[in-house]
Structure 1
Amino acid sequence: MMKESANLVIQKKSLAEELAEQLQNQIKDGKFAVGQKLPTEPELMRIFGVGRSTVREAVKILVNMGFLKVQQGAGTFVENLTASNEPMEQRLRRADIHDLDEVRKILEIAIAGRAAERRTEQDIEKIEGFLDERGRTAEAGQLEACIEADVNFHIALAKATHNEILYELYRSAAIYLRKGFEHIYVDTACFLASQPTHKQLVRHIIAQDAREALHTINIILQEP
């Protein structure tokens, strides 16, 4: 059985989401085994200090994610210790920075060649704008702004593929990578050093030379 604790009482506005997160964390931490029955609805209401509708909505959230299964007349049981159909945005949010970076590198190889083949003049204008900003902020030692410009530069390249799925995959991963980069890099030295190869990549994309663009992106991915 779940024990009462003062720090389990939820006081935030999104009560159902907060309760779902609390239960989800306890499931992931192994406090409930697969097949184990959760406390009854009244017990959850008492433990967390929330109403019946909040408990039901939280259970619904976890059922939709694949954590729980409701058996009519029997109760609510743990179905999985991890989400079976967790939304991609949520998976990316909790993903390891190294896993995200690996995905980024795989996507960037696919992006470089297609961007070179499909880019428009409008795409080039945006790409060059972010590249210039990347260089200026790197020279000025403005780390946060430099990371922002670098991420936006690569997102613009993904947009230039005119493949909406490829673009959305990269954009979604990049959002969470941006935060990770702020902990990895201590200054802009690496960005400054890699600016020439980034300029070279843009030249190949402007020239619509997919082969050289692929060659250059591979060099960039090996840089610190």
Structure 2
Amino acid sequence: MIKKTNRINLVEQVANQIEQLIKSEHWKVGDRLPPEMELMEQFGVSRNTLREAIRALVHAGLLETKQGSGTVVHSTNALEAALKRYVKKSELMEILDVRLALEKQAAQLASDNRTEADLLKLEGYIQESQQAVKNNDYESLIELDIRFHQAVVSSSNNQLLIDLYEPLVEIIYSFVQDLMKMNVPYKYEEELHIELFKAIRNQDKVAAAAYVENYMEILRQEIVEMIEEKQQHE
């Protein structure tokens, strides 16, 4: 599984091998890397070469060095790690703008590329969401809503779009929770997205895009209200 290196750029080779081992889930997120001596022997490199490779992957966001815990896997790919770092620094409105762009494109692509399996998954989330509303189980509704959006993006069948959207999920979840905690009216029935499902099922790209634009505009207004409400209490 781990191959000994034999070319000039040993640091890059070791870094690439470690990255591939992470992507293949040989080491999963949260796992601690083996001791330094063990890795040096497995890769057939010096301590300096190994440390430089690890340092490069820490900088890329794939690995994280924790005091007392050694080096642990932080992310499965460099793109996701970079996007997560950027998202954390972004303003909420900027994130919403990016979400609109990605979800609008995803809805249009999903209208073209969705499969019967995709439709069954989307419909299943809607049905579970309806039941959550009846049970006043709004925590479950939030999770189901996020899964629905992810399923729409997945139905686009565009891997880069899927990778770009993934770092936003945690931010979106946190945002909706904040809305619930405020006195801002939250329209749970609008989280069922039945009309978006119908547009995707009917392969109506125009209707799918229009739905996302309208939904995001409503969301934008709710964010403004939430921010104003917070400012009044500060």
TM-score greater than 0.5 by the shorter chain: yes
Aligned counterparts, 1:24-63, within 5 A: 60=55
Are 2:133 and 2:189, in contact at CA under 8 Å, matched by a contact in 1?
Answer: no
Deviates more, 1:99-108 or 1:145-154: 99-108
Q: Tell me the distance in 1 between the aligned counterparts of 2:121 and 2:132.
A: 17
Q: Deviations over 1:135-183 (max 9, x none)?
A: 2223332222111111110000000000011112112211232122211
Q: Aligned partners of 1:137 and 1:189: how far apart in 2?
A: 18
Find the aligned partners of 1:192 and 1:200 in 2 and give their Cα distance: 15
1:139–1:93 CA distance, 2 compared to 1 (3 A): farther
| Equivalent of residue 189 in structure 2, options 186, 190, 193 | 193
Instruction: Look up the SS of the partner of 2:166 in the other structure.
Output: helix
1:159 alignment partner AA: S
Q: 5 Å matches for 1:79-118? A: 87-118=82-113
Contact 1:115/1:161, CA 8 A, preserved across alignment: yes
Instruction: Measure, in 2, the Cα distance between the counterparts of 1:201 and 1:63.
Output: 40
Q: Which residue number corresponds to residue 220 of structure 1?
A: 215
Residue 184 of structure 1 corresponds to which residue in structure 2?
179
Give per-residue Cα distances to partners, 1:65-110, cap 9 Å, x unaligned.
Answer: 6xxxxxxxxxxxxxxxxxxxx7222223444333322211221111
Alignment of 1:68-83 (within 5 A): none
Q: Which amino acid aligns with 2:174?
A: K
Structure 1 letter corresponding to 2:147: N
d(CA) in 1 for partners of 2:201 and 2:108?
12
Alignment partners' CA distance in 1, 2:185 and 2:136: 8
Partner Cα distance (1:96, 1:148) in 2: 23
Percent of aligned pairs sharing the same letter: 24
Aligned residues: 153
Q: How far does residue 193 in structure 1 lie from its aligned partner after superposition?
A: 3.3
Which letter does structure 2 place at the counterpart of 1:220?
Y
2:15 is matched with which residue? Answer: none
Gaps in structure 1 of 5+ consecutive residues: 1-13, 15-52, 66-85
TM-align CA RMSD: 3.4
Alignment-derived partner of residue 152 in structure 1? 147
Structure 1 range deviating more: 139-148 or 155-164: 139-148
Aligned residue number for residue 120 of structure 1:
115
**Counterpart code for 2:159:** E
Rounded Cα–Cα distance in structure 2 between residues aligned with 1:172 and 1:63? 18
